[in-house]
């Protein structure tokens, strides 16, 4: 069944916020493109979101906020980062900062990274929804992975109507291009993704912008950019049973130190993945991981596990 497409009346915003509270997915217009919103603090909702988009990887997601206060509850802003906020929020500028100790954004939304991407959208519908919901929402573009980003509610209805719970129709998105992403953790700002805010504008407020190398695998800003979740422990993948001294991260029925999903549910496993890896990493030097099927969300789970295994 296709999700209802509603004008953003007060009633529709209330209904959307309720759906988000119960783990649902809501398509919402922003000034860049239509986003697929989910409660950033709810790992199960985030797993559903990745499944709905059919993303083959758990890319970290941008958490959208209604206020600077909401942003500062989640991440640590340097003086220069605050100057960028002052100059460009609300607007198409995403700032990557260190996650704060009491932050609520789920590990899965951050793909296990100790950093967090935050943005305050400049769109009345996105702002109303965020205020009504009262917490950060992730909202990657509301299109299936590999398709182009939607700038009209009808695009979302056509491509994703059967995978979302509600579509808020706010007309055409004006920017059409994604937000500019700046790593604001160091002494100098680093451009992680060009987008609809011109980097020259950033330079005016905080000079010394570091631009990405032609080689996407080169470190983008020395010592700063963690490319993916990297445990200290050594991971051994596709393990049927643990060896002596290894922790066992299970999947499906059977004994395990921790189990991603005893019922072999991939969405549950995705929701638990980073939290459980982190827990085992704190207690063990070696972790054996049970085989995970590679269909559906399993592809993204295996992608992250493979990368995490290579770094040890």
Query: Which residues are at the interface with ligand AMP (CB under 6 A)?
Result: 59-62, 96, 110, 113, 115-117, 140-141, 178, 181, 192-193
CA distances from 200 to 189, 191, 208, 216, 234 (A): 12, 11, 10, 21, 43
Considering beta carbons, is residue 139 or 235 the nearer one to Mg ion?
A: 139
CB atoms within 10 A of CB 19: 20
Other CB atoms within a 10 A radius of the CB of residue 252 amount to 17
Q: How far is the CB of 140 from Mg ion (least distance, A)?
A: 6
Report which residue's Cβ sits closest to Mg ion.
141
SS3 41: coil
Name the residue among 242, 161, 166 with its Cα closest to residue 7: 166
Closest CB to ligand AMP among residues 196, 257: 196
Q: Using CB distances below 5 to 8 A depending on partner kind, what does residue 142 bind out of ligand AMP, Mg ion, none? A: none
Residues 170-203 as b/e (b if ≥16 CB within 10 A, e otherwise) read beebebebbbbbbbbbbeebbbbeebbbeeeebe
Task: Name which of 12 and 116 has its Cβ closer to ligand AMP.
Answer: 116
* 149 touches, from Mg ion, ligand AMP, none (C-beta below 5 to 8 Å by class): Mg ion
Per-residue contact flags (x/-) with Mg ion for residues 118 to 157, judged by CB under 5 A:
-----------------------x-------x--------
Least Cβ distance, residue 117 to ligand AMP (angstroms):
3
291 contacts 251 by C-beta, under 8 angstroms = yes
116 binds, among ligand AMP, Mg ion, none (CB under 5 to 8 A by kind): ligand AMP
> Choosing among Mg ion, ligand AMP, none, which partner's interface includes residue 59 (Cβ < 5 to 8 Å by kind)?
ligand AMP
Q: In angstroms, give the least distance from the CB of 70 to ligand AMP.
A: 16
Rounded to the nearest whole angstrom, what is the least distance from the CB of residue 27 to Mg ion in the complex?
Answer: 13
Residue 124 CA to residue 32 CA, distance in Å, equals 13
- Residue (of 309, 253, 298, 271) closest to 57 by Cα position: 298
Task: Kindly report the number of other CB atoms within 10 A of residue 220's CB atom.
Answer: 17
Nearer to Mg ion, 139 or 277 (CB): 139
Q: Residue numbers of the site for Mg ion (CB under 5 A)?
A: 141, 149
């Amino acid at each position: 069944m296709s999700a209802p497409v509603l004008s953003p009346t007060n009633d529709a915003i209330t209904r959307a916020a309720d759906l988000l509270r119960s783990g649902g997915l809501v398509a919402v217009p922003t000034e860049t493109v239509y986003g697929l919103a989910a409660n950033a603090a709810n790992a199960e909702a985030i797993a559903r979101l990745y499944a709905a988009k059919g993303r083959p990887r758990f890319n970290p997601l941008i958490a959208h906020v209604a206020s600077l206060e909401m942003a500062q509850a989640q991440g640590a802003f340097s003086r220069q980062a605050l100057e960028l906020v002052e100059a460009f929020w609300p607007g198409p500028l995403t700032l990557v900062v260190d996650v704060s100790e009491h932050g609520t954004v789920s590990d899965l939304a951050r793909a296990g990274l100790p950093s967090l991407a935050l943005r305050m959208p400049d769109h009345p519908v996105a702002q109303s929804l965020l205020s009504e919901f009262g917490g950060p929402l992730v909202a990657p573009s509301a299109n299936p992975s590999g398709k182009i980003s939607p700038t009209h509610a009808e695009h979302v209805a056509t491509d994703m109507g059967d995978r979302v719970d509600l579509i808020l129709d706010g007309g055409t998105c004006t920017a059409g291009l994604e937000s500019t992403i700046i790593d604001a953790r160091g002494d100098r700002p680093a451009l992680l993704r060009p987008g609809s805010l011109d980097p020259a504008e950033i330079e005016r407020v905080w000079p010394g912008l570091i631009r990405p190398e032609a080689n996407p695998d080169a470190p983008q800003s020395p010592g700063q950019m963690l490319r993916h979740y990297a445990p200290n422990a050594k991971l051994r993948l596709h393990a049927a049973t643990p060896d002596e001294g290894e922790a066992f991260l299970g999947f499906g029925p059977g004994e395990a130190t921790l189990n991603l999903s005893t019922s072999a549910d991939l969405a549950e496993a995705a929701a638990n993945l980073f939290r459980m890896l982190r827990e085992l990493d704190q207690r063990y030097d070696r972790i054996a991981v049970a085989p995970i099927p590679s269909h559906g969300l399993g592809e993204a789970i295996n992608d992250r596990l493979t990368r995490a295994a290579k770094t040890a």
